[in-house]
Structure 1
């Protein structure tokens, strides 16, 4: 790839789940090491499969990759990093403050923002401490800090000490004094991210409209925060090899359409395109192939039997049986949640039910996915901007009404935290679920942030609301019991038949189960397995899908729907 000809010292790979950023990060690390460079690959992605890609066990310490001199890798566990962060902040208070207060501080530090800052701690230590990485020519990061993370660090209130008018003396990041010692380290890390001589941000996308929109959004957020040295890698660009294969021709045409309508924000970026390969990028040979100029002339292809699983209509029959309730399609971005949610909602409406279809994903296009809206169906959206404005106004009118001018200014500053948006959207989410008392509510849930934070939020929301406002709405009080009731709520885990989406979906399912929520079924979307294809690349990929479909049935969930690839995926 072009970026490997004159690479900067730091390379950050970022993008939606399933676009291939881990594969490209690993392949780039391998390529640089084989050029004679000393390379350290770092992943803080909780669903990372770097060890699986390299077929070598990793830990949170640099580990040499067998048969690749000069290449080491480490896999940071975000939960372990968050625990270390909490202890560093809370530890100095143990034995000095009452146990109840210390426990409250630890609770404050159990939210999603703490996890983000803990992950950034890892970045900061590696970027800011040149001595510890002096032995490496390049640091490659699988999963870059998001715009959300950097906005957290830019909040002036995070560095001003305790907010005296706040009910708990904390920000969404916990006790503010605990952050002060890190301010210089974080500042050096942010400065390094913005230095184009030292750092390149690689936006990875598939040639699909949704993935390109997400890349454009990330690009804009990071540019606003000073991270301007960016380039785009379009991964998995397909060129049909069999002119008589209609699926291959449709797949090629869809990719060309997506690139022709690429968001303007991406058009000016330096761009590299990588072709879709038949062989999964696993092991050293698979990684070398990912960056190779040509596909090998013959691709091994095992026979694939018909996939196991139930029909889509059979799944809808079971969802319909209660006559009302919440149906949520959940999973990482790019797996087709919006299309599946729209299809379920339309099917139920055409069967005579009252249905409301909505989304908490600001990037979703539910109206386009629905087409003509059938009788008895309504379509809505939880607008994060609108809900955040309403929430801020509500808090200022209640918690802020008796504060003096300085107290109101500090409360307004606290309400500019990105966490406020999460809480505002959560409140709207709870109200939407409340509508399912007499109808079906189909929720296309957001791919990041909202999904886990909102479901964990019986505590997180109450905690945040206690800091910023007064009282908890009834819809919020009832939310978690409703989500845990399998007769009221049906969670559908959506994935693609590929390694990263399946593993991310499995991690999501584990989080749901910890919250007492049992998914109703899995849907593997955009599968080639049910189709007849003759193109050699597609036949090879079809063969590879069997492994992931079997893993789902054997390890994750016994109810599975396998939906065939469709050019209407976006």
Structure 2
């Protein structure tokens, strides 16, 4: 049996980094750890570098850039760093000097290259490096806890010599995120000291937080491997949200319990080599000091009773399909963070449209086996499936960019460029070009795209096109299919963007950020779909029913302030598998 996570000061290193994919409970477990260590009489600082930080929601007190004392927890302080603001500041620092010297399209591309997730993450690193390497700050606290850690990709970029050269400012070799370290050359020593502290196992522990489900465990394994490669080996795995038991006769809780058990049994082998801890799936929201103190102990927390309305009747998936199906053709893009169920939703929409008699082409970047698993072998109606291999598309795009650069940059420059091309934006761009080819060939049908590009990627491609036109070498730089598709995606008559999320704090915050990002590219989502809702499942399990009540808040946040239109999909007892089951999901 896995040990319950119970942090204690004598066993904890001075620096604790909590990392994991969105929605796994990084912030809540980091906050609960901070409270526990402070309750032992230690001086503790918790720092969030997450652009969508919800430290203030968890502690129920306003927290800003200045150190804030947490009421009723002597010895505990918190800071909300703002990497978005930091990114904006050094974006201006890098681009500003060129604004009067270079044409507008080139400035636009430079600015967009510095607007991606990689730039924000390095800006976050800049912020907490300043804390890690400040003796006055570090001597003041027994423990400093960081909510979100840098990825291996970011750390590898920081360790490359060319990261500190002018190569970043004048490279013109493709629509990637080149330049996230531009203008930070004077901080090389600061960053080097921060990386040393991170790599010191006596000083730092990386807590890999995961849910007991296959998607989150795969992401934890990827992060563990990436961080191990750059020398961060002092890792432990924290499985958060494990249902401890199920109610006999309640099909929802039985299926949920068994699905978690299967995921843990089949977790990646490398994860099993880590010291592993567990936290239970609790029936209450982890907000407020009382709830945080309860998490590590077998105690009950008094819950407010709320009536659960029949959500399943109010927001239904068939309304999405009915509305979209009034058109003769179009593009439907499902978007959202990993693990929210984009593939299932995309497949269900495709099946629903096919059942209305439309010709539908469903394309995905998920492995072919997964799409086959979701849809089964017997595809009915006028439904065509295709699969884009992101690995092959990325390799082709990287080869194209590196070939153009090989004659103009030195060995160090190529090494940096190769690492930069491992960023998430590169995959989005490469895959989007393949999506564009599919859409270009299907002008008389619906094309459903599972996993679509962010607003940043679309703007990056747009800026690159304007930039290459400026240099009079547009031919071959941005494919014709991409040029035609960008305006099409902005046309509400031709394209419907569907954001998929879960009825929880972090997924809703992340979906909101995604919507803001799309707004920069003049794209407005048609629908939000709240997936895997226990509130819509009619479960009788006391733990899951209590969690159902907490979902109502987030469904209300989505329906009243975020989305134009909303649909809610109940948590499915059986994984949606096969054409007939997907069809029933749309009813």
**TM-score, normalization: structure 1?**
0.89
Structure 2 partner of 1:137: 142
Q: Cα 1:253–1:305, aligned 2, differ >3 Å: closer, same or farther?
A: same
d(CA) in 2 for partners of 1:81, 1:197: 30
Pairing 1:301–2:328 present:
no
Aligned-partner SS, 1:543: helix
Query: Does structure 2 retain, via aligned residues, the 8 Å contact 1:232–1:266?
Result: yes
For 1:59 and 1:363, locate their aligned partners in 2 and report how far apart those are by CA, in whole Å: 46
Q: 2:458 aligns with which of 432, 455, 458?
A: 455
State the Cα RMSD in Å: 3.2
Structure 2 partner of 1:345:
350
Match of 2:584 in 1: none
**Equivalent residue for 1:537, pick from 530, 543, 554:** 543
Query: Corresponding residue for 2:222?
Result: 217
How far has the Cα of 1:160 moved from its partner?
A: 4.3
| CA gap 1:494/1:172 in 2 versus in 1, 3 angstroms | closer
Alignment partner, residue 556 of structure 2? 550
For residues 396 and 222 of structure 1, do their structure 2 counterparts lie closer, same or farther at Cα, with a shift above 3 Å needed?
Answer: closer
CA distance in 1, matches of 2:167, 2:174: 5
Q: Distance in 2 between matches of 1:164 and 1:555?
A: 40
Alignment check: 8 A CA contact 1:108 1:463 kept? no
Give secondary structure in 2 for the equivalent of 1:356.
strand
Counting only pairs closer than 5 Å after superposition, residues 191-202 of structure 1 correspond to structure 2 as 191-202=196-207
Instruction: Tell me the residue number matched to 1:323.
Output: 328
What's 1:483 paired with?
489
The answer to whether the 8 A contact 1:161-1:176 is kept is no
Aligned position for 1:428: 434
Q: Secondary structure at the match of 2:183?
A: helix
**Match for residue 585 of structure 2?**
none
Alpha-carbon distance between aligned partners in 1 of 2:529 and 2:257, rounded to the nearest angstrom: 24
1:562 pairs, out of 568, 577, 587, with: 568
**Counterparts of 2:442 and 2:143 in 1: how far apart (Å)?**
53
- Alignment counterpart, residue 388 of structure 1, candidates 366, 391, 394: 394
Q: Is the Cα contact below 8 Å between 2:113 and 2:460 reproduced in 1?
A: no
Secondary structure of 1:437's partner? coil
- How far apart, in 2, do the equivalents of 1:169 and 1:518 lie? 27
Q: Specify every segment of 5 or more residues in structure 2 that has no aligned partner in the other structure, as ranges.
A: 577-587
Offset at residue 284 of structure 1 (A): 0.8
How far 1:299 moved relative to its partner?
A: 4.5
Partner Cα separation in structure 2 for residue 132 and residue 363 of structure 1? 51
Once residues 69 and 88 of structure 1 are traced to their aligned partners in structure 2, the CA distance between those partners, rounded to angstroms, is 40
Q: Distance in 2 between matches of 1:563 and 1:331?
A: 15
Aligned positions of 1:137-536 closer than 5 A: 137-162=142-167, 166-167=171-172, 172-174=177-179, 178-240=183-245, 242-296=247-301, 299-307=303-311, 309-360=314-365, 365-375=370-380, 376-395=382-401, 399=404, 403=407, 410-411=413-414, 414-417=417-420, 418-419=422-423, 420-445=426-451, 451-459=454-462, 461-462=464-465, 471-536=477-542
Residue 274 of structure 1, CA deviation? 0.7
TM-score by length of 2: 0.87
What do residues 226-256 of structure 1 show as CA deviations (whole Å, max 9, x unaligned)? Answer: 2111111111111335323221111111111
Cα displacement (A) at 1:59: 0.9
Q: Is the 8 A contact 2:175 2:464 kept in 1?
A: no
Q: 2:129 aligns with which of 99, 121, 124?
A: 124
Contact 1:81 1:118 in 2 (8 A): yes
Give 1:56's aligned residue.
61
Contact 2:221 2:270 in 1 (8 A): yes
**Distance change >3 Å, CA 461–CA 356, structure 1 → 2:** farther
Q: For 1:94 and 1:409, how far apart are their aligned partners in 2? A: 25
Contact 2:559 2:565 survives alignment (8 Å) = yes
Q: Is the 8 A contact 1:237 1:276 kept in 2?
A: yes
Shift of 1:436: 4.5
* Structure 1 stretch displaced more, 168-177 or 528-537: 168-177
State the aligned residue count. Answer: 561
In the alignment, which residue of structure 2 is the partner of 1:21? Answer: 26
- Tell me if structure 2 keeps the 8 A contact 1:523–1:561: yes
Cα deviation, 1:309-362, whole Å, max 9, x if unaligned, reads 332122112122223222122122221112111222233334443333233467
Q: Is the 8 A contact 1:349 1:377 kept in 2?
A: yes
Q: 1:409 to 1:136 in 2, by over 3 A?
A: closer
Deviation of 1:157 (Å): 2.5
> Given that residues 356 and 377 in structure 1 are in contact (C-alpha distance below 8 angstroms), is that contact kept between their aligned partners in structure 2?
yes
